[in-house]
């Protein structure tokens, strides 16, 4: 089915002609290539450096407390896990005030 937009019928034009050049790929990390004059250099933007630092921090951060998770899982399966709705509400209100 061909859609008519602005009164012009037809299909998409072919934009991959012989004179078309591929666009340089943009990097998600923000790395930029410096102009080369015989040597290759890469300089990272401050955003890319921050992402690298955050990634390193996540890699060394402690994981979840497995014993606590297992205790809660067992309590839930046995039906005796108490949920303190007031405590949860207080923490949500404090979080909302911080935002």
How confident is the model over 21-40, as pLDDT tens digits? 555 554 555 555 555 567 88
Q: pTM score, two decimals? A: 0.30
Do 40 and 48 form a contact (C-beta atoms < 8 A)?
no
Q: How many CB atoms lie within 10 A of CB 45?
A: 13
Sequence length of the chain is 99
Residue extents of the structural domains in the chain: 29-60
Return the SS3 of 79: coil
Q: What is the pLDDT of residues 55-88, one digit of tens each?
A: 988 888 887 788 888 999 999 999 988 889 999 9
Residue 30 to residue 95: CA distance in whole angstroms? 32
Rounded CA gap, 55 and 43, in Å?
A: 18
């Amino acid at each position: 089915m061909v859609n008519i937009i602005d009164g012009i019928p037809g299909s998409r034009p072919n934009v991959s002609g012989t004179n078309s050049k591929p666009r340089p790929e943009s990097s998600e990390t923000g790395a930029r290539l410096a102009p080369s004059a015989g040597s290759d250099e890469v300089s990272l933007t401050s955003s890319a450096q921050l992402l690298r630092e955050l990634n390193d921090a996540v890699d060394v951060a402690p994981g979840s407390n497995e014993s606590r998770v297992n205790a809660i899982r067992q309590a839930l399966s046995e039906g005796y896990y108490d949920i303190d709705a007031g405590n949860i509400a207080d923490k949500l209100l404090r979080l909302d005030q911080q935002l």
